Amino acid sequence: MVKSPVSRASIRNTGVALIIVASIAVAFRLYFGIVHHKRFRIEDIWLASCYIFFIVLAILYLYIVPAFFRLTDLGEGLIEPYATANDDALFIQKGLFTVSACLWFCLWSAKFSLLWMYKKLLVQLPFYMKLWYALVGFCVVTLIGTIITLFLACSSMEAWFAVGKCTTPRDVKAAAVSMWFAYAVDVLTDLLIMLLPLRLIIALQMPLSRKLSIAALFCLGWVCIIASTVRVTQLGQPGGQPTVPWLALWGTIEAAIAVIIVTGPGLYRLAKLHSRSRRDYYAETSRTKTSHNKSKSRGQTTNHGQTELQPYPNAHASVMAGHPSSSQEGLVNTPKYDIRVTKEVSINSLEEGNGSKKKKKHLCLISESEPHAAIISLKPTTRMNKPLKSFVNDTKLLAKKALKLPLKAYTETVQKCTTLLRAVGLGIVTITRGPEERKKLFTDSRKVALARCGVHILPSSVSIILITINLLGYFIGGELQGSQDGDSIKLGILQICAKVQELLVVASLSTVIFHVLRSELVFGPGLPLGLMGAGYKFTSLSFFWSSEFWGSVTYNKQAPRYRKVFIFGLLVVSGVLAVLAGPTSAVLMIPRELDWKTGGCNFYLNGTKEEMWPQRPDLPILNCSGSTWMNNSRCLANGYQSIHETFSNRRGNSQSGIVALQIADSDLRKNVHARVREPYEPWVETWAFTAHAPSAIMQAASFTLWISALNYLISLADSITHPNPKLLGYGSSRTAVVETELPAARVVCNDETILIERNATFVEGKFPMLPEYSLRWRTNPSDGQFMTWFESVDVTGIVLPMVSIPSQTSIMVKPIDLPPIPEQASSVGAILLSSDDTNTSRWIMQTCSVDARWAKGKTEITENYISVKYDFGADQPRSLVDSEVEVAGFGWGGFVPPEDGTWRRINVSAEWLDALNPEIPGNNQDEASQGSRRQTTIESIIEASAHGNLGDQESTLLRELALAVTVVDGLSRSSSYRTANYSSMFEPLVSEPWDKSSAKSLVRLGGPRNTPEGKEAIKNAKLKMQMHLRGYAMSVVGWFDYLCIAVLLTHAVIALAHSIWIVWHEKTSDAWENITELMALCLNSERPDLTGEDELSNTSAGVRTWMPTRQVGWVEAYKSRDAASAMTCSSTEYREQLQLRFGRGRHTKGTERDSQFQVEVKAEYGRL
């Protein structure tokens, strides 16, 4: 640890003292400023902000410094290790980030406070106002730049808030850049702020001493510059990094100086206001300039209105009893008031009143050029003699204003945003007690039109955001973001949000429909009665098969067809959108657990497709003789030990269904999936399949490379990368998938055994025939019964030598090539021989057929995020590889290979099967038994799988399983000998360091984009490892998701079109958008029978015919009582100007509206 250049006590005492001094200065400045101006000004707000940031900074340093000294003492061995040392280090790291931001916000708040104070001096000077705006903009930009450099001082935000992660050379350099940049712009802005008012001060008409004092006040920023310079140059450490105590001391000093400087101009102005020398100055000047006006002005009585004016600085501040004074302050700018004093005036005291009434004393401004004319009268200010009483009154005034401020702000906001509030459904806050006043039906204002579009903003924005996120894809992780173990609550909240979105969409559509219907009623050819309530009922599907809807279809044949098509089309589309808005919003808003495709790796195998998956497997070009095969995973029989151990540990009989056995060797751990034949069930056969070893090994290596690339991208801390690498690291599981061909085998043994005598000269074996695309049990054409077809083969030359040589195994196994037969899939068989326990002079023979295939499928590696997948140093995978065939019916009864080329037949030879069945060395055989036959691998495995005699039903099933597992394991490694070193296949990814381009070629949305290098790569078999992350995600995964997008996008288009339309035409209204307003219009309209329309008669108890629903109505406007009286016989005393008229009661000229009764846009309507 570095020894601190300042003591602990000095830092603590300095910090406490500066907090007290700054607090007193700010309290006096804000108190007297608010009392004097009767309000909280913008510069006061910036001052308060500056003070708050200073307090946070100073208090944090008071806690950070002791923690730093504790760690210093611990590093020097002065104290014993304590449990919270790491917590102290983390607190210091987080605290330094916070105080750095607080320092910049404090300094810039001070700058903004001074700038807003300057603005009042410059408001009438256009050139200076341009400079002021430019300086404000420059300060904003530099503040943003300072904060950005602070964030970039560490390589990531995670490094900012972690111990020891922000100490790399890059971080040290970035921290220095951040510090010097902030210092430079801080000093530059201070200089510009000081220079801005100096030119103005030079032109003031005042004594030089006063000019110098004001200039010195404005140049106090030099003190802050000096403190800032000391802070960044005297770093207190040779390495160029400041220590925490040094930063705490000078950071607190600089922030306190900034706070005190900001309070300076205000305190100076208040001090001058109440100083005796100032009052004496104005009194003396007044005596010399206004002595000739005293008698004239005092001898007159004025009756001018008593207009209240904000005095500068106060009316009583420049007037003494009996001595009128003269203001010579020059130009006094009061932008918030109606009157500015631009001439030299005298302030004289006047008295008014007569008789016994007490005289009131007023102050009157008298023009020097027109002494007989009083410019304005000022109300006197009562000066309290008791300071305590004055303080109490001022406090009461402040409290009263503080209580009224929220209500005043609320009232002003409602008045300014009435249209917007009504548009978004918050009209309740705009309702007043009444009475109702006349109002415009339509307004012609683009500003109002924009406000009425507010109802579209939120639902359309949410829809666009949801569509964008789902189209781009967003992965969240195994758990929703936020507190842990709360996914149910989070999903419930999202359900509520989806419902709110549905309501917003419906409200948006309602606004569009009401606009169209209202326009038809007021300006168009009218609407049928059945559609009057369409704006309220379109959300219910039952409306579209109601009498109101279908009764309105044939309305007003004179209306243009396109208008009717548009109205009914809009209603139908809006109805569908209203019904689907809820579920579609929920589908796109609520994350689902998905298998998220996140790149992978392309790779080539060391051979062509025919070489890696041969139709006729060759023998490995390796030395697998003797015991070599047991230690070389490229040899076919290398899986013997694992298979033998697996069957040795199994207990019990065969089980129906699919079983999984785990087989391991020095290269790979893999699952073998098998389905065992069931006794007396002709539609189930024994099958087994497993992973292709070369593909699986390369897959495991690709998996490890992908994880390495992901970790590299996470280390870059680039949060704008899509997809976000950090979120990808939160997946609940990771699965690497490779689509490839898998080795599969079907093994069926003859349930009937054959007895062979020792003196036999001819032996015939019956091998079950296995059709290529059907079951072994087939229908006999003669009697229709199920039967098994067998292939008879002369096996004398194989069996007799076997029985003539003594054997150390109970069951002998010998492969045999089967003659090719049309539609016969098995190319090789196995002969099983054992001695007869009941008669030692004879043998028992059982035959089995083997059908080998290359089946289309995939291999999978599923691991959590901390497991090791591949060790490139040892060239060995560490993962468990699983496999799956792409046939849904595998394992079920009646499964047969599909006849589509995806299950290719393999012509396995007896020679290849012999290579899979070598003799086992070192099998406890002494020298005396050298003349006997050693046990082979398949014999050992079959012997371990079942202990019953040949022909035993249960033992036969288990031996079929053992033989199938052995065959597929050998097939899986049949081409492994072609690759000596798997790590070299991934060069240069393995040896070269990652860069962003290479890492993103593996980690990306969708499939991988990396291109493996190699001259022979184009000839070799190419495979793709696809990564899947399991977790919550938002993405489009099917046609229904696209339907949801179409629904929300349609609404967004309708909302956008409506917004453009009304903003362009500017003619909008919000009338009749609820039942109450529509009923009020109807109640204030003439009855249809009084206006000549009788087709709405007898409808008060209900409507049961089409006639009333298709009656067309529109809204008319009467401009005067005379016009209304001429058209009706009823009284017009209380008639409303707007009337809803139907049928023959409407006023027309031919087939068109009568323009005399047309509603005008800007007119206000109410009672006549």
Q: What is the pLDDT of residue 203?
A: 62
1142: in domain? yes
Residues 174 and 215 in one domain: yes
Q: Which of 359, 383, 407 represents a domain boundary (last residue)?
A: 383
As beta bridge partners, residue 176 has: none
Residues 740 and 660 in one domain: yes
Q: Pick 44 or 357 by higher pLDDT.
A: 44
Q: Pick 483 or 967 by higher pLDDT.
A: 967
Residue 439's H or E segment, with its range, is strand 439-440
CATH number of the structural domain spanning residue 187 = 1.20.1070
- Given a cut of 70, is residue 158 above it in pLDDT? yes
- Most confident segment among 216-220, 958-962, 1072-1076: 958-962
Q: Which residue carries 């204002």 as its tokens? A: 445
CA 736 – CA 697 distance, rounded (Å): 12
Residues 1051 and 1008 in one domain: no
Residue 134's H or E segment, with its range, is helix 126-151
Residues 984 and 1049 in one domain: no
Best CA proximity match to 1051, nearest among 538, 507, 588:
507
Structure tokens at 100: 């750095």
- Given a cut of 50, is residue 645 above it in pLDDT? yes
Q: What is the mean pLDDT of residues 954-963?
A: 92
Q: Which residues of 1111-1135 are buried (b: 16+ CB within 10 A; e: fewer)?
A: bbbbbbbbeeeeebeebbeeebeeb
Q: Quick check: 1110 and 528 in contact, CB under 8 A?
A: yes
CB atoms within 10 A of CB 1104: 10
- Given a cut of 70, is residue 833 above it in pLDDT? yes
Q: What is the pLDDT of residue 851?
A: 95
Q: What is the pLDDT of residue 1024?
A: 92
pLDDT confidence band for 340 (50 / 70 / 90): very low
- pLDDT-wise least confident of 75-79, 288-292, 890-894, 1036-1040: 288-292
CB contact set of 828 (below 8 Å; sequence gap of 6+): 815, 816, 817, 818, 850, 852, 908, 909, 910, 912, 913
Q: What are phi and psi of 523, to 5 degrees?
A: -115, -20
Q: What is the pLDDT of residue 322?
A: 37
Q: Pick 871 or 442 by higher pLDDT.
A: 442
Residues 560 and 528 in one domain: yes
- Most confident segment among 123-137, 728-742, 1130-1144: 728-742
Q: What is the mean pLDDT of residues 1036-1054?
A: 93
Look up residue 800 and give its amino acid: L
Q: What is the pLDDT of residue 85?
A: 79
Q: Could you report the per-residue pLDDT of 305-327, keeping only the tens digit for each?
A: 333 334 434 333 333 333 333 33
For 977, which DSSP code?
Answer: G
CB contact set of 571 (below 8 Å; sequence gap of 6+): 513, 531, 534, 538, 544, 549
CB contact set of 1011 (below 8 Å; sequence gap of 6+): 602, 1001
Residues 238 and 342 in one domain: no
Q: What are phi and psi of 1165, to 5 degrees?
A: -125, 150
CA distances to 662, 747, 968 from 853, in Å: 21, 11, 9
Per DSSP, the three-state class of 360 is strand
Q: What is the mean pLDDT of residues 178-204?
A: 78
pLDDT confidence band for 1051 (50 / 70 / 90): very high
pLDDT confidence band for 287 (50 / 70 / 90): very low
Number of domains forming the structure of the chain: 4
Structure tokens at 607: 């051979």
- Most confident segment among 235-244, 579-588, 922-931: 579-588
ω before 918 within 30° of 0 (cis)? no
Q: What is the pLDDT of residue 1136?
A: 77
Q: Which residues of 209-227 are buried (b: 16+ CB within 10 A; e: fewer)?
A: eeeeebeebbebbeebbeb
- pLDDT-wise least confident of 192-196, 216-220, 466-470: 216-220
Structure tokens at 183: 């210092």
Q: Quick check: 118 and 43 in contact, CB under 8 A?
A: no
Q: What are phi and psi of 236, to 5 degrees?
A: 80, 15
Residues 655 and 680 in one domain: yes
- Given a cut of 50, is residue 769 above it in pLDDT? yes
Q: What is the pLDDT of residue 794?
A: 92
Q: What is the mean pLDDT of residues 487-501?
A: 91
539: in domain? yes
For 152, which DSSP code?
Answer: T
Q: Which of 276, 303, 329 represents a domain boundary (last residue)?
A: 276
- Given a cut of 60, is residue 578 above it in pLDDT? yes
Q: What is the pLDDT of residue 93?
A: 81
86: in domain? yes
Q: What is the pLDDT of residue 371?
A: 44
CB contact set of 174 (below 8 Å; sequence gap of 6+): 149, 152, 153, 154, 155
- Given a cut of 50, is residue 634 above it in pLDDT? yes
Q: What is the mean pLDDT of residues 1101-1107?
A: 82
CA 809 – CA 811 distance, rounded (Å): 6
CA 48 – CA 56 distance, rounded (Å): 12
Look up residue 1009 and give its amino acid: R
Q: What is the pLDDT of residue 395?
A: 72
Best CA proximity match to 463, nearest among 988, 1056, 17, 991:
1056
Helices and strands (H, E) in the chain, number of each type: 33, 32
- Given a cut of 90, is residue 859 above it in pLDDT? yes
CB atoms within 10 A of CB 719: 11
CA 706 – CA 872 distance, rounded (Å): 13
Residue 740's H or E segment, with its range, is strand 733-749
Residues 618 and 695 in one domain: yes
813: in domain? no
Residues 885 and 984 in one domain: yes
Q: What is the mean pLDDT of residues 238-257?
A: 73
Q: Quick check: 873 and 903 in contact, CB under 8 A?
A: no
Q: Which residues of 996-1027 are buried (b: 16+ CB within 10 A; e: fewer)?
A: eebbbbbbbeeebebeeeeeeeeebbebbbbb
Q: What does R_g of the chain's alpha carbons equal in angstroms? A: 48
What distance lies between CA 151 and its chain's CA centroid? 21
Q: Quick check: 177 and 149 in contact, CB under 8 A?
A: yes
CA 744 – CA 880 distance, rounded (Å): 19
662: in domain? yes
CA 316 – CA 363 distance, rounded (Å): 9
- Given a cut of 90, is residue 1080 above it in pLDDT? no
Q: Which of 248, 276, 304 represents a domain boundary (last residue)?
A: 276
Cβ-based burial of 326 (10 A; exposed 0-12, middle 13-18, buried ≥19): buried
pLDDT confidence band for 267 (50 / 70 / 90): low
As beta bridge partners, residue 1006 has: 598
Best CA proximity match to 831, nearest among 852, 858, 801:
801
pLDDT confidence band for 23 (50 / 70 / 90): confident
- pLDDT-wise least confident of 72-86, 208-222, 883-897, 952-966: 208-222
pLDDT confidence band for 1132 (50 / 70 / 90): very low
Q: Pick 215 or 614 by higher pLDDT.
A: 614
pLDDT confidence band for 234 (50 / 70 / 90): low
Give the DSSP per-residue string, 538-584. Answer: TTSGGGGGSHHHHHTTT--TTS-HHHHHHHHHHHHHHHHHHHHHHHH
Give the DSSP per-residue string, 1017-1072. Answer: TTTS-EEEEEEEEEEEEE---SHHHHHHHHHHHHHHHHHHHHHHHHHHH-EE--TT
- Given a cut of 90, is residue 465 above it in pLDDT? yes
Q: What is the pLDDT of residue 386?
A: 53
CB contact set of 360 (below 8 Å; sequence gap of 6+): 351, 352, 353
Residues 995 and 863 in one domain: yes
CA distances to 123, 643, 810, 1094 from 962, in Å: 97, 8, 16, 95
- Given a cut of 80, is residue 105 above it in pLDDT? yes
List helix spans (H) across 682-827.
693-716, 725-728, 796-804
Q: Quick check: 640 and 653 in contact, CB under 8 A?
A: no
Per-chain mean pLDDT for the chain:
78
Q: List % helix, strand, coil for the chain (3-state, nearest 5).
A: 50, 15, 35
CA 154 – CA 175 distance, rounded (Å): 7
796: in domain? no
Domain range for 1084 is 443-591+1040-1165
Q: H/E/C letters for each residue in 813-863?
A: EEEEECCCCCCECCCEEEEEEEECCCCCCEEEEEEEEEEEEEEEEEEEEEE
Q: What is the mean pLDDT of residues 147-151?
A: 86
Residues 242 and 321 in one domain: no
- Given a cut of 50, is residue 734 above it in pLDDT? yes
Q: Pick 640 or 716 by higher pLDDT.
A: 640
Q: Quick check: 1088 and 1094 in contact, CB under 8 A?
A: yes
Q: What is the mean pLDDT of residues 568-585?
A: 93
Cα angle 771, 617, 859 (rounded to 5 degrees) comes to 80
50: in domain? yes
Best CA proximity match to 322, nearest among 283, 296, 356:
283
939: in domain? no
Residues 110 and 223 in one domain: yes
Q: Could you report the per-residue pLDDT of 342-384, keeping only the tens digit for each?
A: 444 444 444 444 444 344 444 444 444 444 444 444 444 444 4
CA 699 – CA 986 distance, rounded (Å): 11
Q: Are strands 880-885 and 669-675 parallel, antiparallel or unpaired?
A: parallel
CB atoms within 10 A of CB 389: 10
CB contact set of 264 (below 8 Å; sequence gap of 6+): 217, 220
Q: Could you report the per-residue pLDDT of 45-91, keeping only the tens digit for each?
A: 888 888 899 899 889 888 888 888 888 877 777 777 777 777 888 88
